[in-house]
Protein backbone atom coordinates (compact mmCIF):
# COMPACT_ATOMS: atom_id res chain seq x y z
CA UNK A 1 0.00 0.00 0.00
CA UNK A 2 1.32 3.45 -0.91
CA UNK A 3 2.13 5.66 2.04
CA UNK A 4 -0.19 8.45 0.90
CA UNK A 5 -3.26 6.22 0.42
CA UNK A 6 -6.10 6.94 2.84
CA UNK A 7 -9.71 5.88 3.11
CA UNK A 8 -10.97 9.35 2.31
CA UNK A 9 -12.19 10.03 5.88
CA UNK A 10 -10.66 12.69 8.11
CA UNK A 11 -10.77 10.50 11.21
CA UNK A 12 -8.69 7.49 10.04
CA UNK A 13 -4.96 7.29 9.31
CA UNK A 14 -5.17 4.29 6.96
CA UNK A 15 -8.04 2.45 5.26
CA UNK A 16 -9.10 -1.00 6.54
CA UNK A 17 -7.32 -2.60 3.58
CA UNK A 18 -3.99 -1.68 5.20
CA UNK A 19 -4.70 -4.50 7.66
CA UNK A 20 -6.06 -6.86 5.00
CA UNK A 21 -9.68 -6.15 5.99
CA UNK A 22 -12.61 -5.82 3.60
CA UNK A 23 -15.77 -3.73 3.64
CA UNK A 24 -18.72 -5.90 2.65
CA UNK A 25 -21.56 -4.74 0.42
CA UNK A 26 -23.66 -3.81 3.46
CA UNK A 27 -20.83 -1.65 4.86
CA UNK A 28 -19.71 -4.09 7.53
CA UNK A 29 -16.07 -4.82 8.31
CA UNK A 30 -14.80 -8.31 7.46
CA UNK A 31 -11.61 -10.34 7.90
CA UNK A 32 -11.26 -12.41 4.74
CA UNK A 33 -14.99 -12.91 3.99
CA UNK A 34 -15.96 -13.28 7.64
CA UNK A 35 -18.22 -10.55 9.04
CA UNK A 36 -16.68 -9.39 12.33
CA UNK A 37 -20.18 -8.92 13.75
CA UNK A 38 -20.81 -12.65 13.32
CA UNK A 39 -17.56 -13.48 15.12
CA UNK A 40 -18.49 -11.18 18.01
CA UNK A 41 -22.02 -12.59 18.26
CA UNK A 42 -20.66 -16.13 18.50
CA UNK A 43 -17.72 -15.55 20.86
CA UNK A 44 -18.74 -12.38 22.73
CA UNK A 45 -16.72 -9.27 23.46
CA UNK A 46 -14.13 -8.08 24.26
CA UNK A 47 -12.58 -10.36 21.66
CA UNK A 48 -9.25 -10.46 19.87
CA UNK A 49 -9.45 -11.73 16.29
CA UNK A 50 -6.32 -13.08 14.61
CA UNK A 51 -5.81 -13.19 10.84
CA UNK A 52 -3.86 -16.46 10.68
CA UNK A 53 -2.88 -16.33 6.97
CA UNK A 54 -1.64 -12.75 7.36
CA UNK A 55 0.49 -13.78 10.36
CA UNK A 56 2.08 -16.64 8.43
CA UNK A 57 2.69 -14.50 5.37
CA UNK A 58 4.41 -11.82 7.47
CA UNK A 59 6.68 -14.39 9.11
CA UNK A 60 7.60 -15.91 5.75
CA UNK A 61 8.32 -12.47 4.29
CA UNK A 62 10.62 -11.67 7.23
CA UNK A 63 12.66 -14.81 6.63
CA UNK A 64 12.91 -14.03 2.94
CA UNK A 65 13.97 -10.43 3.58
CA UNK A 66 16.72 -11.40 6.03
CA UNK A 67 17.99 -14.10 3.67
CA UNK A 68 18.11 -11.76 0.67
CA UNK A 69 19.86 -8.89 2.46
CA UNK A 70 22.05 -10.73 4.98
CA UNK A 71 22.74 -14.17 3.54
CA UNK A 72 21.81 -17.70 4.50
CA UNK A 73 23.71 -17.65 7.82
CA UNK A 74 21.51 -14.90 9.27
CA UNK A 75 18.79 -16.01 11.66
CA UNK A 76 15.38 -14.72 12.77
CA UNK A 77 14.28 -15.39 16.36
CA UNK A 78 10.71 -14.35 17.16
CA UNK A 79 10.64 -12.19 20.33
CA UNK A 80 8.03 -14.10 22.29
CA UNK A 81 7.34 -11.23 24.71
CA UNK A 82 5.39 -9.41 21.99
CA UNK A 83 2.70 -12.10 22.03
CA UNK A 84 3.33 -15.44 23.72
CA UNK A 85 -0.06 -17.00 23.02
CA UNK A 86 0.69 -20.66 22.16
CA UNK A 87 -1.10 -20.45 18.80
CA UNK A 88 1.17 -17.54 17.80
CA UNK A 89 4.32 -19.34 18.95
CA UNK A 90 3.27 -22.47 17.05
CA UNK A 91 2.66 -20.45 13.88
CA UNK A 92 6.14 -18.92 14.12
CA UNK A 93 7.72 -22.33 14.54
CA UNK A 94 5.79 -23.70 11.57
CA UNK A 95 6.99 -20.73 9.50
CA UNK A 96 10.61 -21.67 10.26
CA UNK A 97 11.51 -18.98 12.81
CA UNK A 98 13.53 -19.68 15.93
CA UNK A 99 12.55 -17.99 19.19
CA UNK A 100 13.84 -15.53 21.81
CA UNK A 101 12.59 -15.75 25.41
CA UNK A 102 13.01 -13.45 28.42
CA UNK A 103 11.53 -15.44 31.32
CA UNK A 104 11.53 -18.95 32.74
CA UNK A 105 7.86 -19.24 31.77
CA UNK A 106 8.61 -18.33 28.16
CA UNK A 107 11.43 -20.88 28.07
CA UNK A 108 9.03 -23.58 29.22
CA UNK A 109 6.43 -22.39 26.71
CA UNK A 110 8.94 -22.51 23.85
CA UNK A 111 9.96 -26.05 24.78
CA UNK A 112 6.30 -27.01 25.09
CA UNK A 113 5.71 -25.65 21.57
CA UNK A 114 8.36 -28.03 20.24
CA UNK A 115 11.40 -25.77 20.08
CA UNK A 116 14.72 -27.43 20.85
CA UNK A 117 17.28 -25.75 23.10
CA UNK A 118 19.54 -24.94 20.14
CA UNK A 119 16.70 -22.91 18.58
CA UNK A 120 16.28 -20.67 21.65
CA UNK A 121 18.02 -17.43 22.62
CA UNK A 122 17.56 -16.30 26.23
CA UNK A 123 17.44 -12.60 27.03
CA UNK A 124 16.17 -10.43 29.89
CA UNK A 125 17.56 -8.44 32.84
CA UNK A 126 16.36 -10.65 35.72
CA UNK A 127 17.46 -14.23 35.15
CA UNK A 128 16.97 -16.05 38.42
CA UNK A 129 19.11 -18.91 39.66
CA UNK A 130 16.43 -21.42 38.64
CA UNK A 131 16.10 -19.83 35.21
CA UNK A 132 19.84 -20.02 34.53
CA UNK A 133 19.95 -23.64 35.66
CA UNK A 134 17.12 -24.41 33.24
CA UNK A 135 18.99 -22.69 30.41
CA UNK A 136 22.01 -24.88 31.04
CA UNK A 137 19.89 -28.00 31.41
CA UNK A 138 18.16 -27.50 28.06
CA UNK A 139 21.25 -26.35 26.19
CA UNK A 140 19.94 -23.07 24.83
CA UNK A 141 21.76 -21.79 21.80
CA UNK A 142 22.78 -18.44 23.25
CA UNK A 143 22.43 -16.77 26.61
CA UNK A 144 22.48 -12.96 26.45
CA UNK A 145 24.19 -11.61 29.58
CA UNK A 146 22.67 -8.35 30.84
CA UNK A 147 24.84 -7.47 33.85
CA UNK A 148 28.11 -8.25 35.62
CA UNK A 149 26.21 -9.79 38.51
CA UNK A 150 24.42 -12.15 36.15
CA UNK A 151 27.73 -13.09 34.53
CA UNK A 152 29.26 -14.00 37.90
CA UNK A 153 26.19 -16.04 38.81
CA UNK A 154 26.29 -17.80 35.44
CA UNK A 155 29.98 -18.64 35.87
CA UNK A 156 29.26 -20.27 39.22
CA UNK A 157 26.33 -22.28 37.84
CA UNK A 158 28.29 -23.40 34.78
CA UNK A 159 31.15 -24.59 36.98
CA UNK A 160 28.76 -26.47 39.27
CA UNK A 161 27.02 -28.18 36.34
CA UNK A 162 30.30 -28.69 34.44
CA UNK A 163 28.81 -27.31 31.23
CA UNK A 164 29.99 -24.72 28.70
CA UNK A 165 27.67 -21.79 28.13
CA UNK A 166 27.70 -19.92 24.79
CA UNK A 167 26.95 -16.29 25.49
CA UNK A 168 26.56 -12.83 24.06
CA UNK A 169 27.18 -9.65 26.01
CA UNK A 170 24.32 -7.18 25.81
CA UNK A 171 25.77 -3.72 25.57
CA UNK A 172 24.23 -0.37 26.39
CA UNK A 173 25.90 2.01 23.90
CA UNK A 174 24.14 5.14 25.20
CA UNK A 175 22.24 5.61 21.95
CA UNK A 176 18.76 7.11 21.63
CA UNK A 177 16.93 6.84 18.28
CA UNK A 178 15.10 9.82 16.82
CA UNK A 179 11.44 10.41 17.78
CA UNK A 180 11.79 7.86 20.56
CA UNK A 181 9.79 7.92 23.77
CA UNK A 182 12.35 8.07 26.59
CA UNK A 183 10.74 5.06 28.27
CA UNK A 184 11.34 2.85 25.24
CA UNK A 185 14.87 3.96 24.34
CA UNK A 186 16.38 0.71 25.59
CA UNK A 187 19.98 1.66 24.75
CA UNK A 188 19.96 4.93 26.69
CA UNK A 189 22.57 5.01 29.46
CA UNK A 190 20.49 7.26 31.69
CA UNK A 191 17.01 6.06 30.77
CA UNK A 192 17.42 2.29 30.61
CA UNK A 193 18.87 -0.30 33.02
CA UNK A 194 19.43 -2.85 30.24
CA UNK A 195 22.83 -4.08 29.15
CA UNK A 196 26.44 -3.58 30.16
CA UNK A 197 27.43 0.08 30.42
CA UNK A 198 29.82 0.66 27.52
CA UNK A 199 30.97 4.11 28.63
CA UNK A 200 31.42 2.90 32.21
CA UNK A 201 33.78 0.08 31.21
CA UNK A 202 31.48 -2.82 32.06
CA UNK A 203 32.02 -4.58 28.73
CA UNK A 204 35.78 -4.67 29.33
CA UNK A 205 35.21 -6.02 32.85
CA UNK A 206 32.81 -8.67 31.52
CA UNK A 207 35.45 -9.94 29.10
CA UNK A 208 37.95 -10.20 31.98
CA UNK A 209 35.43 -12.33 33.88
CA UNK A 210 34.87 -14.55 30.85
CA UNK A 211 38.62 -15.02 30.49
CA UNK A 212 38.82 -16.33 34.07
CA UNK A 213 36.08 -18.94 33.59
CA UNK A 214 36.63 -21.57 30.89
CA UNK A 215 33.00 -22.67 31.13
CA UNK A 216 31.94 -19.34 29.63
CA UNK A 217 32.25 -19.07 25.85
CA UNK A 218 32.07 -15.53 24.46
CA UNK A 219 30.60 -15.50 20.95
CA UNK A 220 29.67 -11.90 20.38
CA UNK A 221 27.45 -8.92 21.13
CA UNK A 222 23.80 -8.09 21.54
CA UNK A 223 22.16 -4.68 21.45
CA UNK A 224 18.58 -3.47 21.40
CA UNK A 225 18.21 0.23 20.73
CA UNK A 226 14.48 0.72 21.24
CA UNK A 227 11.01 -0.33 20.25
CA UNK A 228 8.79 1.14 17.58
CA UNK A 229 11.72 2.55 15.59
CA UNK A 230 10.63 4.94 12.86
CA UNK A 231 13.79 5.30 10.75
CA UNK A 232 15.51 2.50 8.84
CA UNK A 233 19.02 3.84 9.43
CA UNK A 234 18.91 3.81 13.26
CA UNK A 235 20.74 0.49 13.64
CA UNK A 236 23.39 1.67 11.20
CA UNK A 237 23.96 4.80 13.29
CA UNK A 238 24.20 2.75 16.48
CA UNK A 239 26.57 0.17 15.00
CA UNK A 240 28.95 2.80 13.63
CA UNK A 241 29.43 4.01 17.20
CA UNK A 242 30.90 0.63 18.19
CA UNK A 243 34.13 0.75 16.18
CA UNK A 244 36.33 1.37 19.22
CA UNK A 245 34.65 -1.47 21.10
CA UNK A 246 35.20 -3.98 18.29
CA UNK A 247 38.90 -3.03 18.14
CA UNK A 248 39.23 -3.39 21.92
CA UNK A 249 37.59 -6.82 21.85
CA UNK A 250 40.16 -7.96 19.28
CA UNK A 251 43.06 -6.57 21.34
CA UNK A 252 41.80 -8.58 24.33
CA UNK A 253 41.98 -11.76 22.23
CA UNK A 254 38.27 -12.24 21.52
CA UNK A 255 36.30 -12.23 18.28
CA UNK A 256 32.77 -11.11 17.49
CA UNK A 257 31.44 -14.18 15.69
CA UNK A 258 27.76 -13.36 16.35
CA UNK A 259 25.97 -10.02 16.34
CA UNK A 260 22.39 -9.91 17.61
CA UNK A 261 20.73 -6.58 16.73
CA UNK A 262 17.49 -7.31 18.59
CA UNK A 263 14.28 -6.01 17.07
CA UNK A 264 12.16 -2.97 17.75
CA UNK A 265 11.24 -2.27 14.14
CA UNK A 266 8.28 0.05 13.84
CA UNK A 267 5.25 -0.69 11.69
CA UNK A 268 3.47 1.62 9.25
CA UNK A 269 -0.02 1.47 10.78
CA UNK A 270 0.70 2.23 14.45
CA UNK A 271 3.33 4.13 16.41
CA UNK A 272 4.42 5.06 19.90
CA UNK A 273 3.91 8.59 21.16
CA UNK A 274 6.96 10.73 21.73
CA UNK A 275 7.68 11.91 25.26
CA UNK A 276 6.33 15.37 24.45
CA UNK A 277 3.15 13.91 22.93
CA UNK A 278 2.56 11.77 26.01
CA UNK A 279 2.96 14.75 28.33
CA UNK A 280 0.61 16.84 26.20
CA UNK A 281 -1.95 14.04 26.02
CA UNK A 282 -1.97 13.57 29.79
CA UNK A 283 -2.09 17.31 30.50
CA UNK A 284 -4.61 18.43 27.88
CA UNK A 285 -6.28 15.29 26.56
CA UNK A 286 -5.02 16.07 23.06
CA UNK A 287 -4.62 12.75 21.24
CA UNK A 288 -1.52 12.58 19.00
CA UNK A 289 -2.31 11.77 15.39
CA UNK A 290 -0.66 9.33 13.01
CA UNK A 291 0.08 10.57 9.52
CA UNK A 292 0.78 7.99 6.78
CA UNK A 293 3.43 10.25 5.25
CA UNK A 294 5.43 9.98 8.49
CA UNK A 295 4.85 6.26 9.07
CA UNK A 296 7.66 3.81 9.76
CA UNK A 297 9.07 1.97 6.74
CA UNK A 298 8.44 -1.71 6.14
CA UNK A 299 10.43 -4.62 7.58
CA UNK A 300 12.58 -4.95 4.47
CA UNK A 301 13.87 -1.40 4.80
CA UNK A 302 14.94 -1.99 8.41
CA UNK A 303 16.81 -5.17 7.49
CA UNK A 304 18.63 -3.36 4.69
CA UNK A 305 19.58 -0.60 7.11
CA UNK A 306 21.00 -3.11 9.59
CA UNK A 307 23.07 -4.80 6.92
CA UNK A 308 24.52 -1.48 5.81
CA UNK A 309 25.56 -0.78 9.39
CA UNK A 310 27.13 -4.22 9.76
CA UNK A 311 29.11 -3.74 6.52
CA UNK A 312 30.37 -0.37 7.72
CA UNK A 313 31.48 -1.80 11.07
CA UNK A 314 32.96 -5.15 10.05
CA UNK A 315 33.65 -4.94 6.32
CA UNK A 316 34.23 -8.35 4.76
CA UNK A 317 34.64 -10.02 8.19
CA UNK A 318 30.95 -9.72 9.07
CA UNK A 319 29.73 -11.96 11.91
CA UNK A 320 26.64 -14.16 11.88
CA UNK A 321 23.67 -11.83 12.16
CA UNK A 322 20.62 -12.42 14.34
CA UNK A 323 17.34 -10.50 14.34
CA UNK A 324 14.72 -10.64 17.12
CA UNK A 325 11.54 -9.07 15.68
CA UNK A 326 8.32 -9.13 17.66
CA UNK A 327 5.91 -6.26 17.00
CA UNK A 328 6.70 -6.14 13.27
CA UNK A 329 5.60 -9.78 12.89
CA UNK A 330 2.40 -9.89 14.92
CA UNK A 331 0.96 -6.43 15.47
CA UNK A 332 -1.16 -5.94 12.36
CA UNK A 333 -2.41 -9.53 12.18
CA UNK A 334 -4.74 -9.09 15.16
CA UNK A 335 -7.48 -6.67 16.18
CA UNK A 336 -9.62 -6.16 19.27
CA UNK A 337 -13.42 -5.97 19.17
CA UNK A 338 -15.16 -3.87 21.83
CA UNK A 339 -18.89 -3.36 22.34
CA UNK A 340 -20.18 0.15 23.05
CA UNK A 341 -22.57 -0.43 25.93
CA UNK A 342 -23.50 3.20 26.59
CA UNK A 343 -23.07 6.60 24.95
CA UNK A 344 -23.04 9.65 27.23
CA UNK A 345 -23.47 13.17 25.84
CA UNK A 346 -22.81 16.22 28.01
CA UNK A 347 -23.75 19.40 26.17
CA UNK A 348 -20.84 21.76 25.94
CA UNK A 349 -18.48 19.16 27.41
CA UNK A 350 -18.17 16.10 25.19
CA UNK A 351 -19.20 12.53 24.40
CA UNK A 352 -18.10 9.30 26.08
CA UNK A 353 -18.32 5.83 24.53
CA UNK A 354 -18.38 3.35 27.42
CA UNK A 355 -17.15 -0.02 26.18
CA UNK A 356 -16.69 -3.46 27.69
CA UNK A 357 -12.88 -3.38 27.50
CA UNK A 358 -10.50 -0.65 28.61
CA UNK A 359 -7.14 0.25 30.06
CA UNK A 360 -7.26 -2.07 33.06
CA UNK A 361 -8.45 -5.10 31.12
CA UNK A 362 -7.19 -5.31 27.58
CA UNK A 363 -5.81 -2.10 26.10
CA UNK A 364 -2.87 -0.83 28.16
CA UNK A 365 -0.83 -0.14 24.94
CA UNK A 366 -3.30 2.59 23.90
CA UNK A 367 -1.93 4.68 26.76
CA UNK A 368 1.38 5.19 24.91
CA UNK A 369 0.65 4.20 21.29
CA UNK A 370 -1.60 5.33 18.48
CA UNK A 371 -3.95 2.60 17.29
CA UNK A 372 -6.63 3.17 14.70
CA UNK A 373 -10.23 2.51 15.80
CA UNK A 374 -12.92 1.63 13.25
CA UNK A 375 -16.66 1.18 13.66
CA UNK A 376 -17.49 -2.29 12.36
CA UNK A 377 -20.58 -1.07 10.49
CA UNK A 378 -20.92 1.72 7.96
CA UNK A 379 -17.19 2.18 8.15
CA UNK A 380 -17.08 5.12 5.75
CA UNK A 381 -19.39 7.35 7.78
CA UNK A 382 -18.14 10.94 7.94
CA UNK A 383 -16.45 12.21 11.08
CA UNK A 384 -18.70 13.88 13.63
CA UNK A 385 -16.18 14.98 16.21
CA UNK A 386 -13.95 13.88 19.08
CA UNK A 387 -15.15 11.27 21.58
CA UNK A 388 -13.58 9.70 24.65
CA UNK A 389 -13.57 5.90 24.54
CA UNK A 390 -13.52 4.37 28.02
CA UNK A 391 -13.55 0.92 29.53
CA UNK A 392 -15.94 -0.64 32.05
CA UNK A 393 -13.98 0.15 35.20
CA UNK A 394 -15.09 2.59 37.86
CA UNK A 395 -11.64 4.12 37.64
CA UNK A 396 -10.78 7.50 36.12
CA UNK A 397 -7.79 6.16 34.17
CA UNK A 398 -9.80 3.39 32.47
CA UNK A 399 -9.57 5.20 29.13
CA UNK A 400 -8.85 3.76 25.70
CA UNK A 401 -8.51 7.16 24.01
CA UNK A 402 -9.44 10.73 24.81
CA UNK A 403 -10.62 12.98 22.00
CA UNK A 404 -10.47 10.39 19.24
CA UNK A 405 -12.07 11.76 16.09
CA UNK A 406 -14.84 9.34 15.11
CA UNK A 407 -18.16 9.15 13.26
CA UNK A 408 -21.36 9.24 15.28
CA UNK A 409 -21.49 5.99 17.30
CA UNK A 410 -24.63 4.39 18.70
CA UNK A 411 -25.09 2.16 21.73
CA UNK A 412 -24.58 -1.51 20.89
CA UNK A 413 -22.10 -0.87 18.07
CA UNK A 414 -18.85 -2.77 17.65
CA UNK A 415 -15.51 -1.00 17.52
CA UNK A 416 -12.33 -2.56 16.13
CA UNK A 417 -9.07 -1.46 17.77
CA UNK A 418 -6.35 -2.25 15.26
CA UNK A 419 -2.86 -3.66 15.76
CA UNK A 420 -3.68 -5.57 18.94
CA UNK A 421 -1.25 -8.36 18.01
CA UNK A 422 1.72 -6.91 19.90
CA UNK A 423 1.69 -6.46 23.69
CA UNK A 424 -2.10 -6.31 24.16
CA UNK A 425 -2.31 -9.94 25.33
CA UNK A 426 1.10 -9.78 26.99
CA UNK A 427 0.11 -6.76 29.12
CA UNK A 428 -3.54 -7.53 29.82
CA UNK A 429 -4.78 -7.75 33.41
CA UNK A 430 -7.92 -8.93 35.16
CA UNK A 431 -9.12 -5.57 36.44
CA UNK A 432 -12.48 -6.76 37.76
CA UNK A 433 -13.33 -8.56 34.53
CA UNK A 434 -12.37 -11.85 32.89
CA UNK A 435 -9.61 -11.70 30.32
CA UNK A 436 -10.90 -11.95 26.75
CA UNK A 437 -11.02 -14.79 24.26
CA UNK A 438 -9.03 -14.95 21.03
CA UNK A 439 -10.52 -16.25 17.78
CA UNK A 440 -8.60 -17.06 14.62
CA UNK A 441 -9.84 -16.63 11.05
CA UNK A 442 -8.48 -18.78 8.24
CA UNK A 443 -9.99 -19.89 4.97
CA UNK A 444 -13.33 -18.30 5.77
CA UNK A 445 -13.75 -20.22 9.02
CA UNK A 446 -13.37 -19.15 12.63
CA UNK A 447 -11.88 -21.20 15.46
CA UNK A 448 -11.28 -20.43 19.10
CA UNK A 449 -7.59 -20.05 19.97
CA UNK A 450 -8.05 -19.00 23.60
CA UNK A 451 -11.28 -19.22 25.57
CA UNK A 452 -12.57 -16.40 27.72
CA UNK A 453 -11.46 -16.53 31.34
CA UNK A 454 -14.10 -17.92 33.71
CA UNK A 455 -14.97 -17.05 37.29
CA UNK A 456 -13.33 -20.33 38.33
CA UNK A 457 -10.14 -19.36 36.47
CA UNK A 458 -10.07 -16.00 38.21
CA UNK A 459 -10.41 -17.46 41.71
CA UNK A 460 -8.47 -20.73 41.28
CA UNK A 461 -5.31 -19.43 43.00
CA UNK A 462 -7.06 -18.15 46.11
CA UNK A 463 -7.61 -19.74 49.53
CA UNK A 464 -10.26 -18.58 51.98
CA UNK A 465 -9.20 -20.77 54.92
Residue pLDDT, tens place only, 123-177: 999 999 999 999 999 999 999 999 999 999 999 999 999 999 999 999 998 888 8
CB atoms within 10 A of CB 421: 29
Of 59-73, 144-158, 221-235, 273-287, least confident by mean pLDDT is: 273-287
Q: Does 4 fall in a domain? A: no
Q: Which of 416, 406, 420 is nearest to 34 (CA)?
A: 416
Over 90: is that where the pLDDT of 49 sits? yes
Same-domain check for residues 30 and 129: no
Q: Write out the E strands in 253-360.
A: 258-260, 271-272, 320-323, 334-346, 350-355
Same-domain check for residues 409 and 346: yes
Same-domain check for residues 303 and 347: no
In DSSP terms, 229 is beta-bridged to: 265
Same-domain check for residues 115 and 231: yes
**More confidently predicted of 386 and 294:** 386
Over 80: is that where the pLDDT of 314 sits? yes
Cβ atoms of 280 and 210 closer than 8 Å: no
Q: What is the pLDDT of residue 8?
A: 43
Of the residues 329, 344, 361, the one at which a domain ends: 329
Cβ atoms of 435 and 453 closer than 8 Å: yes
Same-domain check for residues 320 and 268: yes
Alpha helices in 146-288 (DSSP H): 148-161, 202-212, 234-240, 243-251, 275-284
Q: What is the pLDDT of residue 181?
A: 67
Buried b (16+ CB within 10 A) or exposed e, 337-359: bbbbeebeeeeeeebbbbbbbbb
Q: Does 464 fall in a domain? A: no
Of the residues 329, 360, 394, the one at which a domain ends: 329
C-alpha distances (whole Å) from 211 to each of 199, 250, 252 are: 21, 13, 9
Q: For residue 411, what pLDDT band results from cuts at 50, 70 and 90?
A: very high
Q: Does 465 fall in a domain? A: no
Q: What is the pLDDT of residue 278?
A: 87
Angle between helices 202-212 and 243-251 (to 10 degrees): 30
Same-domain check for residues 257 and 342: no
Same-domain check for residues 118 and 131: yes
Over 70: is that where the pLDDT of 454 sits? yes
Q: Does 1 fall in a domain? A: no
Between CA 374 and CA 337 the distance in angstroms is: 10
Q: Does 360 fall in a domain? A: yes
- Give the mean pLDDT of 353-357: 96
Helix (H) or strand (E) holding 143: strand 142-145
Q: Does 392 fall in a domain? A: yes
User: For position 88, which CATH number holds?
Assistant: 3.20.20.10
Of the residues 329, 345, 364, the one at which a domain ends: 329
Per-residue pLDDT tens for 254-307?
A: 999 999 999 999 999 999 898 888 888 888 889 998 989 889 999 999 999 999
What is the domain count for the chain? 2
Q: Does 177 fall in a domain? A: yes
| Average pLDDT of the residues of the chain | 93
User: For position 366, which CATH number holds?
Assistant: 2.40.37.10
Same-domain check for residues 156 and 242: yes
Residue 56 phi/psi, 5-degree rounding, is: -65, -40
Same-domain check for residues 374 and 403: yes
Same-domain check for residues 268 and 347: no
pTM higher than the cut 0.75: yes
Q: For residue 331, what pLDDT band results from cuts at 50, 70 and 90?
A: very high
Same-domain check for residues 405 and 375: yes
Cβ atoms of 126 and 98 closer than 8 Å: no
Q: For residue 183, what pLDDT band results from cuts at 50, 70 and 90?
A: low
In DSSP terms, 5 is beta-bridged to: none
Q: What is the pLDDT of residue 7?
A: 47
Same-domain check for residues 356 and 386: yes
Q: What is the pLDDT of residue 247?
A: 95
- Give the mean pLDDT of 112-133: 97
Between CA 50 and CA 334 the distance in angstroms is: 4
Domain of residue 101 covers 53-329
Q: What is the pLDDT of residue 182?
A: 65
Amino acid sequence: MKAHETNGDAWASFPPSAWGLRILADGRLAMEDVDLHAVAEHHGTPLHVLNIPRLRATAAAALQSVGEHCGSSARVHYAMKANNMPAIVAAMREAGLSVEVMTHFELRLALHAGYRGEEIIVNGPCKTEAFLHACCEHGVRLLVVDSLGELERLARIAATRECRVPLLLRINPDFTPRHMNRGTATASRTGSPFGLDLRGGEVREALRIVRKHPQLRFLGLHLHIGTGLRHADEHGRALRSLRALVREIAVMGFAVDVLDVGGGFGIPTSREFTSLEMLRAQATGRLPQHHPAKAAPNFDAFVAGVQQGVNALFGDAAPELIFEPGRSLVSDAQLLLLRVEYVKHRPGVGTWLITDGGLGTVTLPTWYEYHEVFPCAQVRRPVQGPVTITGPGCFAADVVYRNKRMPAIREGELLAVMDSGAYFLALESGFGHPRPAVAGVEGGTVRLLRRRETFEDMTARDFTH
